[in-house]
Amino acid sequence: MTQSTLSRCALHQDPVRDDIPFYQPTGQEVALFEHAYRQRLPLLLKGPTGCGKTRFVRHMAARLGLPLHTVACHDDLTASDLTGRYLLKGGDTAWSDGPLTRAVREGGICYLDEVVEARKDVTVVLHPLTDDRRLLPLERTGERLEAPDDFMLVVSYNPGYQHILKTLKPSTRQRFVAISLDFPDADTEVDIVAHESGLSRGRCEALVNLAARLRAMKGQDLEEGVSTRLLIYCASLIQAGMPVLDAARAALLEPLSDDPDVLKGIEDVVTATF
């Protein structure tokens, strides 16, 4: 851990523990998460891809000493992928819990990443879990599971990807307390990129400055701005000995666009920076 990270941890009065994944807060999200957990409220995290949502949840699960059940949602994901199903075992069928059911039975955090991607029937199982009943009815087994106090449901989505067919209905989103996460301010992002890649702060500063310019192109030329994740990839390649421009091409240009004109525009910004 770098000196600056240590001093920031002191600033946030966080005990530094090796078994807790590193997470640099960008606002009041740690306190809000803890309150939501203690009040048994479900939480919605909004923010662009690669801004730290998953890392934040991993950090909070470790900090609160809770098991974490993560599900990366996709457009084929159904309610039974979350709740469970009968499987053939030998000649018999046996019920097998899905990750949501496991978290409700055993306690812990169930994190549904990019929840809007999932099929519509998923919201049906989430609704009774996200009000004061905190119930998971399992039609197939006839059970009605009551969530224990140490169960918490956390979902995330990226508002930037929304289109008319894929959005959270108000009746669903109004069941959650919500936090907006975004890319951190420049100083914090330098800390994060340096910590994760091992590259010096000075060299990370140049990358973070470049990110600010590329993020300013969002909406005009680029659908999404460069993420903290991509900056870390770029810094890791440079730290491993790759020439800066090659690393920037592989980690910052190519993942952002397929359009030759846009790529040329980004390349000009990159070469002007280094």
Residue 238: partners with Cβ closer than 8 Å, 6 or more residues away:
197, 199, 203, 244, 247
Which listed residue (81, 97, 196, 224) binds ligand ADP by CB under 6 A? 196
Q: Does 229 bind ligand ADP (CB under 6 A)?
A: yes
Q: Does 55 bind ligand ADP (CB under 6 A)?
A: yes
Q: Does 50 bind ligand ADP (CB under 6 A)?
A: yes
Q: Does 161 bind ligand ADP (CB under 6 A)?
A: no
Please name the helix (run of DSSP H) or strand (run of DSSP E) that holds residue 199, with its range, or none: none
Q: Does 228 bind ligand ADP (CB under 6 A)?
A: yes
**One-character DSSP codes across 165-180:** TBS--HHHHTTSEEEE
Q: Does 122 bind ligand ADP (CB under 6 A)?
A: no
Relative orientation angle of helices 260-273 and 201-216, to the nearest 10 degrees: 140
Q: Does 225 bind ligand ADP (CB under 6 A)?
A: no
Q: CA-based Rg of the chain, rounded to a whole angstrom? A: 21
Nearest approach in angstroms of CB 224 to ligand ADP is 11
CA of 117: how far to CAs of 72, 73, 105, 121, 156, in Å? 9, 6, 25, 12, 10
Q: Does 23 bind ligand ADP (CB under 6 A)?
A: yes
- Alpha carbon distance 212, 271 (integer Å): 15
Stretch that binds ligand ADP, among 16-24, 116-124, 164-172, 263-271 (CB under 6 A): 16-24
Nearest approach in angstroms of CB 24 to ligand ADP is 4
Kindly state the number of chain residues that form the binding site for ligand ADP, as judged by CB under 6 A. Answer: 18
Residue 97 or 114 having the CB closest to ligand ADP: 114
Q: Does 51 bind ligand ADP (CB under 6 A)?
A: yes
Q: Where are the beta strands (DSSP E) in 151-270?
A: 151-157, 177-180
Residue among 25, 32, 113, 29 nearest 69 (CA): 113
Residue 208 or 232 having the CB closest to ligand ADP: 232
Stretch that binds ligand ADP, among 17-25, 88-96, 99-107, 238-246 (CB under 6 A): 17-25
Quick one: tokens of 186?
A: 């420049």
Which listed residue (46, 53, 69, 102) binds ligand ADP by CB under 6 A? 53
Nearest approach in angstroms of CB 48 to ligand ADP is 7
Residue 101 or 228 having the CB closest to ligand ADP: 228
Q: At 54, which amino acid appears?
A: T
Tell me the backbone φ, ψ of residue 31, rounded to 5 degrees.
Answer: -65, -40
Q: Does 54 bind ligand ADP (CB under 6 A)?
A: yes
Binding residues for ligand ADP restricted to 162-191, rule: CB under 6 A: 184
- Alpha carbon distance 114, 74 (integer Å): 8
Residue 232: partners with Cβ closer than 8 Å, 6 or more residues away:
192, 193, 196, 197
Q: Does 236 bind ligand ADP (CB under 6 A)?
A: no
Residues that bind ligand ADP (CB under 6 A): 22-24, 26, 47, 49-55, 184, 192, 196, 228-229, 232
